[in-house]
Amino acid sequence: MSEVRVFAPGSVSNIGCGYDVFGMALEGPGDVVTARLVEDGGEGVFSVSVSGDGGRVPTDPARNCAAVAAQAVLDRVGAGRGGRVGVALDVRKGLPLAAGLGGSAASAAAGAVAADALLGGGLDQTTLLECVVAGERQGSGASHIDNAAPALAGGFVLVPPGKPLRIVRLPTPVDFVAAVVRPHLEVETAKARALLGEAIALSAGIRQWGNTAGLVAGLYQEDWELLGRCIDDAVAEPVRARLVPGLEEAKRRALAAGAVGAGLSGSGPSVFAICRGRSAAREAARAIADAFRSEAGVDADVIVSPPSPTGARVLGTSASTRAATAGTGGSVGG
């Protein structure tokens, strides 16, 4: 094939306690990356076009998430050097920027999977995840494996420490549904991370690792009391809350509307609430959006979604006349 179109979903990271370790893929909006083999057009990922971003996403291949991730794939399959393979990317942003919905990770995951499919690389998940992380680092100044992993693999996932990288898919109760509300505010991830500093209180750490353990146990046991108790961030949210006017009221109203737990999605400003069933999630979403309207004077968009079982996926392929793939090396599909 000479052209591949790949979708990757948005995601909620942290889920309360799991800073840098938990993430959940969402149904609904996502980014779409089309990768095209171009003969004699350039070397590696040489061209990027972006739409749906209001002109804010860089099109320089060295600074674009999808392109860096795709180039990492090219490097690993041994293509794209010496002028043998040129790849052009088209990135269509379906996810908002700086929203805390894993937009950079989605672009990177779509870019990596598109490049892998285009080149017939057949890279394993661990290698693809390394490529996604490399790309995502471009977008937000740090690697957020808690968005990269669900964007790539789907589901509710844990990324445990240690090498090689692993994605551990966790089960969720059948009525586990997230309400995700994005107020029309922006928070720069890098700024939100900088607020955290390098050290935390031991007591906060103990709460956090008790909570992550309890959240996993709650998922396996479908123990909603435990889930609610453990969806609680002792580390990141307390210092980030002041970047998101209306957050406390939004959480309060979500819980009052019956949500099991609520918090910032990633570094915000989006807010998630975990609920039992879609109808409860719709209630919570409405309550959160109302809070942002009354407390911060802003409108908000709403997603109601269980963990999306699929992550980055090929939407379509074609053999474009613009790409002549003969002679591009053994690892490249025709």
> Which chain residues interact with a copy of itself by CB under 8 A?
17-22, 158-162, 166, 168, 170, 196-217, 220, 223, 226, 229-230, 232, 234-235
DSSP state of 99: S
Cβ-based nearer residue to a copy of itself, 19 or 272: 19
Do 68 and 133 meet the contact criterion of CB atoms below 8 Å apart? no
Is residue 272 classed as helix, strand or coil in its secondary structure?
A: strand
CB of 155 to a copy of itself, least distance (A): 13
Please say which residue, 71 or 211, places its beta carbon nearer to a copy of itself.
Answer: 211
Least distance (Å) between residue 142 CB and a copy of itself: 12
Q: Which is nearer to a copy of itself, 229 or 313 (CB)?
A: 229
> Could you give the CA distance from residue 274 to residue 289 in angstroms, rounded to a whole number?
15
If the CB atoms of residues 110 and 216 are measured against a copy of itself, the closer one turns out to be: 216
Query: Residue 199 or 326: which CB sits closer to a copy of itself?
Result: 199
| Interaxial angle between packed helices 103-119 and 125-140, expressed in degrees from 0 to 180 and rounded to the nearest 10 | 140
Q: Most distant CA pair in the chain: distance in Å?
A: 63
Q: Distance from first CA to last CA of the chain, Å, rounded? A: 5
Token reading at 237: 């949210």
Rounded least distance, CB 152 to a copy of itself, Å: 17
Least Cβ distance, residue 231 to a copy of itself (angstroms): 11
**Least distance between a copy of itself and beta carbon 213 (Å):** 4
* Nearer CB in complex with a copy of itself: 116/136: 136
Cis status of the peptide bond prior to 164, with omega within 30 of 0: yes
Shortest CB 228 distance to a copy of itself, Å: 9
Task: Please state the closest distance from residue 290 (CB atom) to a copy of itself, in A.
Answer: 27
Nearest partner of 61 among 43, 77, 40, 34, judged by Cα = 43
Angle, nearest 10°, between helix axes 278-296 and 247-256?
Answer: 150
Query: For strand 86-92 and strand 44-51, is the pairing parallel, antiparallel, or unpaired?
Result: parallel
204 or 255: CB nearest a copy of itself? 204
Residue 236 and residue 56: Cα distance in Å, rounded?
Answer: 27
Question: How far apart are alpha carbons 278 and 292 in whole angstroms?
Answer: 21
